[in-house]
Amino acid sequence: MERTLVILKPCTLQRGLVGEILKRFEQKGLHLTGLKMMQLTDELLDEHYAHLSGRSFFQQVKDSMMATPVIVCCYEGVNAVEVVRSLVGATNGRNALPGTIRGDYSMSSQENVVHASDSVENAQIELARFFNPKEICAWEPIAAPFFYANDEI
């Protein structure tokens, strides 16, 4: 099984959408193996968004991500990274298709409800950044056979 990181951004908390968003991943069949609330720091965001550090909006992104605590999640499933990215939709909420999380709940490229890992490699790096190994719980949902065929898991 593959694991991926999802961060429910401050706008999600402010708008009271946490339960709705978690429900979407759960209903799809991904299972939650890590969940915590945390206040992001400037240093952690410098590391997480290092690829944006030269962009004019970098400080704005960091300020937005520190506005309130965030909910950090680890989801597990077959092709979890790809599945989560499909559920989340395009980065800019105005371009995200209806039925995706951003398409249904976002009108912004920054206040776009969630962060989701964009590759298996980045998911591993990001999960290690936000969780220590003891905070991720390996467990097998009894409903797994109803989400996958025998040869898929």
Show the domains of the chain with their CATH numbers.
2-152 (3.30.70.141)
Overall pTM surpassing 0.85 (yes/no): yes
**48 annotated active-site:** no
Give the position of tokens 């490229």: 109
For residue 100, the one-letter residue type is T
- pLDDT of residue 153 exceeding 90, the answer is no
Where does the pLDDT of residue 137 fall: very low under 50, low under 70, confident under 90, or very high at 90 and above?
very high
Give the Cα separation of 96 and 105 in Å (integer): 10
3-state secondary structure of 51: helix
Q: Could you read off the pLDDT of 45-92 as tens digits, one per residue?
A: 999 999 988 889 899 999 999 999 999 999 999 999 999 999 999 999
Q: What is the pLDDT of residue 128?
A: 98
- pLDDT of residue 5 exceeding 90, the answer is yes
Q: What is the pLDDT of residue 52?
A: 86
From the candidates 31, 48, 51, 115, give the one annotated as an active-site residue. Answer: 115
Where does the pLDDT of residue 150 fall: very low under 50, low under 70, confident under 90, or very high at 90 and above?
confident
Where does the pLDDT of residue 96 fall: very low under 50, low under 70, confident under 90, or very high at 90 and above?
very high
Query: Distance from CA of residue 6 to its chain's centroid?
Result: 1
